[in-house]
Amino acid sequence: MSSLGGRHLAALSELACLVADGTATRRSQLAQATGLSRAAVAQRVDLLVARGLLVETEPVATERGRPPLALQLAPDALICAVDLGATHCRLALSTLGGLPLVESVREIDINEGPQHILTGVRELTTELLAQIDRPQAHLRAFCIGVPGPVEHETGTVIRPPIMQGWDGYRIPDFFGAQSLSGEHYDPGVTVLVDNDVNMMAFGEYSRRRDTKHLLFIKVGTGIGCGIISNGTLHRGAAGAAGDIGHIPLPGHEDVLCHCGNTGCVEAVASGAAIARALREAGLPATGGRDVVRLVSEGNPVARRRVRLAGQQIGEVLASLVSFHNPDAIVIGGSIAQLHEDLLADIRGVVYRRALPLATRTLAIETSSLGERAGVEGAARMAARHLLSPEGIERLLVQPVR
């Protein structure tokens, strides 16, 4: 790995992660948690402090004397979390320790292509850094979620159904070619890319201490699934795991999907599909937001169509529950704002169709993070990567300043 050696980097990573999640924030606690000697902990902590990754806060004076210094992740290390959807870009800057600093949402059309969309991301990042008066040098990672299949290792978008012009585009190359100011990025900046639903799943999982097996279902313009298995994000052999939107629904062979097949659940029960059905019924609905508005206004046609979509989605999820046996199914995306109008029918089908043992302790609920699930997951995913042995090695080569 480096001149430090793999074991040493692993130990540094373990110490940094313990501080990050609050398990151990003092040197004595780190020694107890890791089994390392106090001298070994001191040596490694001093290195992390010297390289700007950890800081020791001043103690608060007490009547019983001066307490030991407390450790925390350096506030100067920033993460840019980006959630790209079909029609929105949500971008948030946070510290490596998870403190949110600033956030913004813009409307986009993902079909305008990678150069246009990613230039907008770069410009928005510049604006937000200026708002919080931080230099570009503090930025340590971009973590970007996109609404299509991604080869995670390279950050390459592969044959996305709804992202015209993105096929084969390697997103990290865009950020490596030019910096926010027109110069090259600091070589220490990491660019991570994943499917947006994977980001959402990881964000939701990070908030649930007792959940090890989770399915996050995004119901928006399309339908997708993020899979957490025993605490680990499951991407599959090539990164395509969870692409449930193109599972066929029997009886809908006449419905053409944009993927080229017919009867896909996304073509039948997504926000875009519901809006299309409402337009055919004479209602003003161009997308998921209009569906939510009509249901919230009590429109009976819209409510019936959403309930039907819930049943159709439930048919697919019942099979997934019997296969994966999750602790929880979390519904997110724009249509999830309807809460019980959607959940009641999903629950009804899943509990009726899936195996009793698989549903005995199953929770089916909407996202606790709402529209922020994507950027929350992206920030946490980036932090986990930066604090891994490989990430620590890069931070040691390019110290946080």
Dump pLDDT digits (tens) for 299-348: 999 999 999 999 999 999 999 999 999 999 999 998 988 878 889 999 99
Tell me the average pLDDT across 95-118.
Answer: 94
pLDDT in tens, 209-226: 789 999 999 998 889 999
pTM for the model stands at 0.88
Residue 226 backbone zone (phi > 0: left; psi -120 to 50: alpha; other: beta): beta
Query: For the packed helices 38-50 and 27-34, what is the interaxial angle rounded to 10 degrees?
Result: 120
Nearest to residue 218, comparing CAs of 234, 207, 204, 238?
Answer: 204
Structural domains present in the chain: 6-73 (1.10.10.10), 78-198+374-397 (3.30.420.40), 210-367 (3.30.420.40)
Edge-to-edge strands, sheet with 88-95: 100-107, 88-95, 78-84, 139-146, 190-195
Report the alpha-carbon distance of residue 283 to residue 268 in Å, rounded. 18
Contacts of 152 (CB under 8 A, 6+ apart): 193, 194, 235, 239
3-state DSSP assignment of residue 101 = strand
Q: Characterize 11-31 residue by residue with b for buried, 16 or more Cβ atoms within 10 angstroms of its Cβ, and e for exposed.
A: bbbbbbbbbbeeebbbbebbb
Contacts of 298 (CB under 8 A, 6+ apart): none
Under the banding of pLDDT at 50, 70 and 90, the label for residue 100 is: very high
Token code pair at residue 69: 């210094």
pLDDT of residue 340: 80
How far is residue 362 from each of residues 200, 211, 342, 347, measured CA to CA in Å? 19, 11, 17, 10
The DSSP secondary-structure symbol of 74 reads -
How far is residue 143 from each of residues 13, 155, 379, measured CA to CA in Å? 20, 10, 7
Q: Please tell me which residue, 194 or 210, carries the higher pLDDT value.
A: 194
Phi, psi torsion values for 203, nearest 5 degrees: -65, -45
Q: Please tell me which residue, 60 or 188, carries the higher pLDDT value.
A: 188
pLDDT of residue 180: 43
3-state DSSP assignment of residue 173 = helix
**CB-based contact 74:54 (threshold 8 Å):** yes
pLDDT of residue 179: 40
Under the banding of pLDDT at 50, 70 and 90, the label for residue 59 is: low
- Token pair 């990290």 in the structure block, residue: 172
Task: Kindly state the helix (H) or strand (E) to which residue 233 belongs, with its residue range.
Answer: strand 232-233
Which range (52-61, 161-170, 232-241, 250-259) has the least confidence? 52-61
**CB-based contact 208:214 (threshold 8 Å):** yes
